[in-house]
């Protein structure tokens, strides 16, 4: 994907604004990067980031003025505290930065970075760009599509989404616990909630449902005995 150069503009209150770095949100790679970014945000942080990113792109800029009231309306959040904490988290994670205040409008001016810019900023600051648990799969189109699907489900926590990805990879409960640095019992607790949310009873059903969503029905083998906590190697072959 070609990267266009940034171009400076000026807001009505004199704040320098850059024109979009990458505004083609329909491009598959843009969706993949947004999904990877979502896994590094809390659900509230990402909801705020999405509306801020959308609003600035809509006016061909990468910065804009946002009051808490405006962000409440755009995001559907109900708490002033949630918006404040969400914006603070986004700044700490280098997804946005404050570039000024408008005392008259009681709003803040934020520069909203594109996903690839955020990853570059984090690397430059010595931070991981997105969770270590998904490194190695960021270039895998099938896994990227799955990540986009999972982060789009508001009923799944970020931790549950990572557990699902590990299941699809074919990891056992013990391997999932080691990768996510949680106990095997905690993995089982996550799986029980995940199964309930997907309407399945075991991990092979979960994996089959996700694979069928891709249209890859050949990977499902009804005669195969459920391997339970030992993982599912067929899932690994389907996605790697």
How far apart CA 46 and CA 39 sit, in angstroms, is 9
Q: Indicate whether 235 pLDDT > 50.
A: no
pLDDT digits (tens, 9 = 90+) for 13-57: 333 333 333 444 445 567 788 888 998 999 899 999 999 999 999
* Antiparallel, parallel or unpaired: β 96-102 and 63-66: unpaired
**Does residue 107 share a domain with residue 28?**
yes
**What is the DSSP track for 142-199?**
HHHHHHHHHHT-TTS-HHHHHHHHHHHHT--HHHHHHHHT--HHHHHHHHHHHHHHHT
The three-state secondary structure class of 10 is strand
Q: Indicate whether 222 pLDDT > 60.
A: no
Question: Is 177 inside a domain boundary?
Answer: yes
Residue 33 to residues 2, 132, 143, 158, 164, Cα–Cα distance (Å): 15, 15, 12, 16, 19
**Does residue 153 share a domain with residue 186?**
yes
Q: Indicate whether 216 pLDDT > 70.
A: no
CB 166 within 8 A of CB 194: no
Question: Is 1 inside a domain boundary?
Answer: no
Beta-bridge mates of residue 17:
9
pLDDT digits (tens, 9 = 90+) for 81-140: 999 999 999 999 999 999 998 877 788 999 999 999 999 999 999 999 988 877 766 667
Instruction: Extract the tokens encoding 170.
Output: 């074919």
Give the pTM: 0.70
For the chain, the average pLDDT equals 79
Residue of 87, 91, 63 whose CA lies nearest to 6: 63
Question: Is 3 inside a domain boundary?
Answer: no
CB 170 within 8 A of CB 211: no
Domain interval for residue 137: 132-239
**Does residue 138 share a domain with residue 120?**
no
pLDDT confidence bin for 215, thresholds 50/70/90: low
Extended beta strands in the chain, E state: 8-10, 16-18, 63-66, 96-102, 107-112
Question: Is 2 inside a domain boundary?
Answer: no
Question: Is 212 inside a domain boundary?
Answer: yes
How far apart CA 216 and CA 127 sit, in angstroms, is 36
């Amino acid at each position: 994907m070609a990267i266009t150069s940034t171009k400076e503009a000026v807001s009505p209150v004199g704040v320098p604004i850059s024109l979009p770095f990458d505004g083609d949100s329909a491009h598959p790679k843009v969706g993949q990067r947004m999904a990877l970014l979502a896994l590094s945000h809390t659900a509230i942080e990402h909801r705020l980031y999405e509306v801020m990113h959308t609003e600035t792109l809509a006016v061909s800029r990468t910065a804009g003025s946002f009051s808490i009231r405006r962000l409440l309306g755009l995001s559907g959040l109900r708490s002033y505290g949630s918006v404040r904490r969400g914006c603070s988290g986004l700044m700490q994670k280098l997804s946005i930065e404050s570039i000024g205040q408008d005392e008259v409008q009681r709003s803040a001016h934020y520069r909203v970075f594109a996903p690839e810019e955020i990853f570059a900023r984090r690397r430059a600051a010595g931070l991981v760009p997105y969770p270590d648990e998904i490194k190695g799969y960021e270039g895998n189109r099938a896994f990227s599509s799955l990540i986009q699907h999972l982060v789009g489900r508001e009923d799944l926590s970020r931790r549950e989404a990572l557990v699902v990805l590990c299941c699809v990879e074919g990891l056992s409960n013990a391997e999932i616990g080691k990768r996510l640095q949680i106990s095997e019992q905690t993995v089982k607790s996550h799986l029980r909630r995940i199964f309930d949310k997907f309407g399945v009873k075991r991990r092979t059903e979960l994996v089959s449902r996700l694979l069928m969503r891709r249209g890859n029905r050949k990977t499902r083998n009804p005669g195969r005995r459920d391997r339970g906590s030992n993982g599912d190697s067929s899932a690994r072959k389907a996605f790697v």
